[in-house]
């Protein structure tokens, strides 16, 4: 009888926790709130384990133009063999979701 209410309560708690953790890591509170609330345990674990990949240096794949991390040896999108990029090709993605 109270299972539904308990679930909503737990989902809200997890959502808040996940959202706050996501926010601390520079991501969106609402995205992680939703993820953690919809799939409580997995979502919260994801929020905790989530690394802010936007801080990692990127380069564009010469084959398809997709941003790839500089240490990737092969493009996962088009299969292009990536050599280590020259300095001009490396860039740091800007944070666009900062409030």
Q: Which part of the chain contacts Zn ion (CB under 5 A), choosing from 16-24, 50-58, 78-86, 88-96?
A: 78-86
Q: Is 57 helix (H, G, I), strand (E, B) or coil?
A: coil
Q: Which part of the chain contacts Zn ion (CB under 5 A), choosing from 6-14, 19-27, 32-40, 72-80?
A: 72-80
Q: 52 vs 77, which CB is nearer to Zn ion?
A: 77
26 and 59 Cβ atoms separated by less than 8 Å: no
* Element at 68 (helix H, strand E): strand 67-69
78 binds Zn ion (CB under 5 A): yes
d(CA 86, CA 81) in angstroms, rounded, equals 15
Binding stretches for Zn ion (CB under 5 A): 61, 63-64, 75, 77-78, 80
């Amino acid at each position: 009888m109270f299972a539904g209410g308990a679930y909503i309560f737990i989902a809200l708690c997890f959502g808040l926790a996940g959202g706050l953790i996501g926010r601390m890591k520079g991501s969106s509170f609402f995205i992680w709130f939703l993820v953690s609330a919809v799939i409580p345990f997995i979502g919260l674990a994801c929020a905790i384990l989530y690394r802010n990949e936007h801080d990692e240096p990127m380069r564009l794949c010469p084959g398809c133009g997709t941003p790839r991390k500089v240490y990737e040896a092969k493009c996962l999108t088009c299969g292009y063999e990536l050599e280590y990029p020259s300095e001009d090709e490396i860039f740091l993605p800007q944070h666009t979701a900062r409030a």
